[in-house]
């Protein structure tokens, strides 16, 4: 590990040495200009506290060179990215870390480091806007390359598929708006109001963000009403999927492999209704505050006689409901200098909405009915705009859930035993699944060029992860940990 850390440090020093040379042509006037945060603001977003890293929800703020399309105008955004990353524990993953998948000592990958270089977070953004009287329209498309088709590989040609991050249309009239398409979830923290392009994304290079950050991106239908300038009310019907884990009793059906134009290598849950989110947001003039409810429906098909899997055994559909409540805020402790933001979610069946992707539900061992798991998640963070061109951030987050039925192991005596000593364990030694993830992250981003050629940003992030298992029947828990580090360069040609 010491050797790998030294190599990564040398890479960081090399990049750090080169960047000041690249930045020599920045004039004093440009140095006194907008902050790093302003460089990657959302299009048409008046907030000056957006994420430094351009992993923000919306497009980079575009220059005043939109393309007229009759009554509409087209604005382009996006960036080119190069990232080098190091993981203390091997996951064979690209930019996104499996936060709940840090190898334990009994696994070989616990003792294998991982280094990767990737450009696949590079992003293209197109925004079409128009107005007809008091009716306004936004059509927004955002894509990147962080996906893999069934035939994708890294053998010779990096044949990975582009993916849709967001693709939606918002129609707004005085006092209300309707959004349809793929967006960030209404459960995600906003910078202001409840519009889908005003999402507060933490400064990050990590493709999976942070443990405790509440989000999904998927198809949904959103209604927003604005009874006043400081209050927004929202209702969203969002595409469901259930993360089911545990041992399925005989004859129970809760998931199926993908069919036509879905991935046959992935399992899809048997859903009966959309996830329903109702949220109210307040913008009193100092900070942004929101509270919401999340209602989810979990469906499977179970034998009327437990354990029956014969064609002669009757089956019936069973649906259970999971309820959660969430909170979020952004607070300018020192306006334009130091900001605090955070979110929390607590309730049953909300694992899918956390970055760690813990389970939503497991099977009732008695009859196979899906049982939503109780989970609590939170994320807190500070962002310090130290200079107009440098931002520092620190985040602490956790996702934790209670086990049930087959998720609770007999023991955890296998987890922390080195691979070389596995032969000394009895056959009954097991290692339970991960029940909690704690994430501590620090990051720094520097806007080292801003001029007629666009904007260039360099940054680094170091992440310390701790995973803990469900508590076993004998009272044992086990844990593992790992470090992940990133170096990132981004070029924004349109701003």
Query: How far from 364 is each of 250, 310, 439, CA to CA, in Å?
Result: 12, 20, 31
List Cβ neighbours of 471 (8 Å cut-off, separation of 6 or more).
403, 408, 435, 477
pLDDT of residue 152: 72
Closest CA to 207 of 2, 19, 357: 357
pTM for this one?
0.86
Interatomic CA distance for residues 219 and 213, integer angstroms: 19
Domain count, the chain: 1
pLDDT of residue 26: 29
Closest CA to 323 of 354, 292, 363: 292
pLDDT of residue 65: 72
DSSP state of 77: E
Query: Are 108 and 102 within 8 A, CB to CB?
Result: no
CATH for 421: 2.40.160.10
Per-residue pLDDT of the chain (495 residues; tens, 9 = 90+): 444 444 444 444 333 333 333 333 323 323 333 444 333 333 233 323 223 343 333 334 434 578 999 999 999 999 999 999 999 999 999 999 999 999 999 999 999 999 999 999 999 999 999 999 999 999 999 999 998 887 676 666 666 788 899 999 999 999 999 999 999 999 999 999 999 999 999 888 999 999 999 999 999 999 999 999 999 999 999 999 999 999 999 889 999 998 888 888 889 999 999 999 999 999 999 999 999 999 999 999 999 887 666 666 789 999 999 999 999 999 999 999 999 999 999 999 999 999 999 999 999 999 999 999 999 999 999 999 999 999 999 999 999 999 999 999 999 999 999 999 999 999 999 999 999 999 999 999 999 999 999 999 999 999 999 999 999 999 999 999 999 999 999 999 988
Buried b (16+ CB within 10 A) or exposed e, 293-306: ebbbbbbbebbeeb
Rg (CA), the chain: 24
Interatomic CA distance for residues 347 and 275, integer angstroms: 14
Full residue range of the structural domain in which residue 400 is found: 2-492
pLDDT of residue 295: 98
Interatomic CA distance for residues 232 and 157, integer angstroms: 48
DSSP 322-336: EEEEEEEEEEEEETT
Q: Is 310 exposed, middle or buried (CB count within 10 Å of its CB: 0-12, 13-18, 19+)?
A: exposed
Query: Are 161 and 142 within 8 A, CB to CB?
Result: no
Interatomic CA distance for residues 128 and 144, integer angstroms: 18
Residue 54 has which token pair? 């351009």
């Amino acid at each position: 590990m010491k050797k790998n850390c030294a190599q990564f440090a040398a890479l960081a020093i090399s990049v750090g040495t080169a960047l000041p040379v690249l930045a020599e042509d920045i004039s004093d006037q440009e140095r006194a200009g907008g902050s790093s945060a302003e460089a990657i603001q959302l299009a048409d977003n008046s907030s000056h506290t957006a994420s430094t890293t351009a992993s923000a929800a919306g497009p980079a703020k575009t220059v005043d060179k939109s393309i007229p399309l009759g009554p509409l105008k087209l604005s382009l955004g996006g960036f080119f990215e190069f990232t080098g990353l190091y993981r203390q524990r091997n996951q064979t993953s690209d930019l996104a870390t499996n936060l709940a998948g840090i190898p334990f000592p009994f696994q070989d990958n616990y003792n294998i480091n991982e280094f990767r270089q990737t450009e696949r977070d590079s992003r293209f953004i197109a925004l079409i806007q128009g107005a007809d009287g008091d009716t306004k329209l936004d059509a927004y498309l955002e894509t990147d390359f962080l996906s893999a088709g069934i035939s994708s590989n890294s053998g010779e040609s990096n044949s990975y598929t582009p993916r849709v991050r967001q693709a939606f249309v918002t129609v707004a009239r005085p006092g209300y708006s309707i959004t349809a398409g793929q967006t960030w979830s209404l459960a995600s923290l906003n910078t202001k109001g409840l519009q889908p392009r005003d999402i507060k994304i933490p400064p990050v290079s990590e493709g999976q963000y942070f443990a405790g950050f509440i989000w999904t991106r998927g198809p949904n239908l959103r209604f927003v009403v604005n009874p006043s300038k400081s209050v927004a009310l929202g209702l969203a019907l969002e595409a469901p999927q259930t993360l089911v884990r545990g041992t399925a009793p005989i004859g129970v059906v809760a998931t199926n492999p993908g069919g036509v134009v879905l991935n046959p290598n992935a399992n899809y849950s048997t859903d009966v209704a959309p996830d329903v989110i109702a949220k109210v947001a307040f913008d009193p003039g100092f900070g942004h505050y929101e509270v919401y409810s999340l209602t989810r429906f979990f469906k499977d098909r179970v034998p009327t006689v437990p354990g029956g899997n014969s064609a002669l055994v009757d089956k019936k559909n069973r649906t259970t409901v999971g309820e959660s409540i969430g909170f979020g805020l952004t607070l300018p402790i020192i306006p334009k200098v130091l900001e605090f933001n955070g979110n929390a979610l607590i309730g049953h069946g909300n694992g899918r909405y956390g970055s760690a992707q813990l389970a939503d539900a497991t099977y009732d061992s008695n009859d196979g009915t899906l049982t939503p798991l109780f989970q609590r998640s939170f994320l807190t963070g500070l962002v310090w705009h130290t200079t107009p061109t440098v931002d520092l951030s620190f985040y602490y987050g956790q996702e934790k859930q209670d086990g049930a039925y087959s998720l609770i192991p007999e023991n955890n005596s296998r987890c922390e035993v080195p691979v070389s000593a596995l032969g000394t364990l009895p056959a009954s030694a097991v290692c339970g699944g991960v029940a909690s993830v704690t994430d501590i992250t620090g990051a720094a981003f520097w806007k080292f060029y801003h001029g007629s050629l666009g904007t260039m940003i360099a940054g680094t992030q170091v992440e310390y992860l701790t995973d803990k298992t469900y508590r076993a029947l004998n009272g044992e828990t086990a844990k593992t940990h790992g470090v992940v580090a990133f170096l990132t360069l981004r070029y924004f040609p349109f701003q």
